[in-house]
Amino acid sequence: MLKGKIAVVTGGTRGIGYSVVKKFLENGAKVVLFGSRAETVEKALASLHAENAEWEVSGDYPNLKDGKSVEEAIEKVKERYGKIDILVNNAGVSDSKKIEDYTSEYFANIMQLNVNAIMNAVMPVVKVMREQGGGCILNTSSMVSICGQPSGVAYPTSKSAVNGLTWSLARELGPSGIRVNAVAPGITRTDMVAALPEKMIQPLINAIPLRRVGEPEDIANAFLFLASDMASYVTGEILSVDGAMRS
């Protein structure tokens, strides 16, 4: 589904991001994954190459909060491959802190990681995609961008901002042939969720109409669809993948 495509995936070393990278590789893409540190990038690459030595995947670890660092990393991808077809903005941080424990600096840091960092990647990639006549930008939103959560207000606030960014960029970049969509996962079996005790997991499952938590591959499949030509007329969408828990 992605044969010949060049993709950049931020937050691609574990969890949903790693599953997206793997799914794209399985479908013929060449992928550059971004991680936070050299060691996590190297570990992810080793794992992927162990699964299939023929996959063309490489990694980098720019500081996503630093626009210049991200721009330089994007330029390296452009120099190597001559194009960038897909950008997946998956890197981010969750939060569950109560409001009385917040500081303005703490709130600002989450917004910087979950919103500003996306724009730091979008801006240089848009230049590349406009030059080549089109592309696809995908953002990771969240179920809580729609329904909120009982603590950790910065996280749903930032993901609501991701939705607004997605809708607006879709309208602005559509005439350039650039599609912009987001995937809004629900509770997904990442390392953090898998570590929860059964007494905490079961009530969560009971609240999900499909009666199970999502698997990273469920989320990756949604990204694959939106990145592929099957979604060539889909833009400005926030695709919920949450078993209908949001309702």
Domain boundaries, the chain: 6-241
Helix (H, G, I), strand (E, B) or coil at 45: helix
Could you tell me which residues come within 8 angstroms of residue 228 by beta carbon, excluding any fewer than 6 positions away? 1, 2, 27
Maximum CA pair distance of the chain?
53
Beta-carbon contacts of residue 115 (< 8 Å; ≥ 6 apart): 158, 161, 162, 165
**What are the tens digits of pLDDT across the range 73-84?**
999 999 999 999
Does 61 participate in catalysis according to the annotation?
Answer: no
Given a cut of 60, whether residue 247 has pLDDT beyond it is no
Catalytic pick from 18, 102, 155, 233? 155
Give 157-170 pLDDT, tens digit per residue: 999 999 999 999 99
Q: Are 95 and 101 in contact (CB under 8 A)?
A: no
What does pTM read for this prediction? 0.95
Return phi, psi of residue 22, to 5°. Answer: -60, -45
Please tell me the CATH superfamily of domain 6-241, with its number.
NAD(P)-binding Rossmann-like Domain (3.40.50.720)
Give the helix, strand, coil percentages of the chain, each rounded to 5: 50, 15, 35
What confidence tens digit (pLDDT) does each residue in 99-142 have? 999 999 999 999 999 999 999 999 999 999 999 999 999 999 99
Residues paired with residue 7 on neighbouring β-strands, in sequence order: 31, 86
Give the separation between CA 27 and CA 103, rounded to whole angstroms: 44
